[in-house]
Structure 1
């Protein structure tokens, strides 16, 4: 680890932390930072000892979004060329979504544009008192990108997502909790995120992965398809040591 690292990958037992580390520019995303972020996500994905991930930002901001001065490159290029460039940019952080381990975002300050997408790509979002979520694309004449429409719709529903994207306003932590953008409020969001990650990492990796998969199936499939997967996953977990231990304690406590 050097002082010039734009993304830090930290390990604490089975918990990994990816930290955006450009606080002097509010962790704004440029090509170099995104390349390091993609590499860190890939490293976590290949780490068999990783049980959960915390995503955080150094300094007062989580992430101020794209560095507009350079990230888009030559905007006079044809739309199809720009589109492929942007899909590459999105891919730098959307890998968080593909991780099978639980992921927790610790949002202590502003999470704007693509920075908000990084937070919302996580399974759980912990918001601090100074957190702000900014779907501000329309305010600068830009269509949402990087999964923003999907993540907002998933968490808020289509009506609220449309309203948020059209208004382009910063959503403060209390409203983010009410709308479903954030799951938990904490005075120290990173400490709370780490506490949650440690709890999740103490469980079976297979159980965590199957819970995530089960919810995603349920979000798009019918009841029969959802129950079909649940029946397999629950049957697979019945023989776990944790369940056997619970059953033994339950039998001892039952008259």
Structure 2
């Protein structure tokens, strides 16, 4: 049985973590399959949007500590390289040019939270639990968690949830901006959004994604430079021409 399923529906691709008996906890084989699935989506010229979710009642319970990290008494530099390799299994989600949505219907803890954060949009269900729980187990956050949380909910909120190390329920996640929507069926809603995104110009959506990324880490002048080139390019698009025609007849 595959530990990660990759399916296609038109332009929408769905990656499903598929180890429900352990709440999709991450071990090396699962991460290897996840890395391969993300690379497959990146190479898929027909992919227009991606949904990431988990099988069973959990999104992802985080790392299977023994199965993933091995001997934790090794030198710090050695362990750091192990961690960087783990991060490289899921952070390529951030590099995809297409819109990405995580559908979180249950626990997304530790590295599982990082997988959700690596997507552009997070849709939460009523039973979703977001777990920046690193400090509660004596572990420093990793996998880009501090950066992605700070980008999404701001430095003060990121510090507060990381210091506390508690599970964040779905309603609180929505209030903080950690999740963009709270719905009864996050997988169905993510599919609807992905289909909408997939129906639009791939160039346009890729440019919007890149400009948002620039805006998140740059000043207005830098963002305007990128934005103006992208908007100027889109003025000549067939989609915009069709829209403009309705007002010039």
TM-score (norm 1): 0.96
> How far has the Cα of 1:251 moved from its partner?
3.3
Match of 1:23 among 20, 25, 28: 20
Shift of 1:236: 0.5
Residues 1:62 and 2:59 aligned together? yes
Gaps of 5+ in 1: none
Structure 1 residue 81 corresponds to structure 2 residue 78: yes
Alignment pair present for 1:114 and 2:108: no
Q: Secondary structure at the match of 1:16?
A: strand
Please name the residue that 1:245 is paired with: 242
Corresponding residue pairs, total: 249
In structure 2, the partner of 1:174 is: 171
Distance apart, 1:156 and its partner CA: 1.1
Match of 1:192 in 2: 189
**C-alpha separation in 1, matches of 2:45 and 2:190:** 21
Distance in 2 between the 1:120 and 1:110 partners?
13
Show CA shifts across 1:132-154 (max 9, x none).
Answer: 10000111110001111011101
| Residue 130 of structure 1: aligned partner | 127
1:69 deviates by 2.1
Cα distance in 1, alignment partners of residues 137 and 219 from structure 2 = 39
- DSSP 3-state at the match of 2:116: helix
| 1:44 corresponds to 2:41 | yes
Root-mean-square deviation over aligned CA pairs: 0.8
Tell me how far 1:212 sits from its aligned partner. 1.0
2:210 aligned to which of 205, 210, 213: 213
TM-score, normalised to structure 2, is 0.98
Whole-angstrom CA distance in 1 between matches of 2:75 and 2:16: 34
Task: Provide runs of 4+ in structure 1 moved above 4 Å.
Answer: none
Question: What runs of 5+ residues in structure 2 fail to find an aligned partner?
Answer: none
Q: Deviations over 1:146-198 (max 9, x none)?
A: 11101110111111111100101000010000001100111100000000000
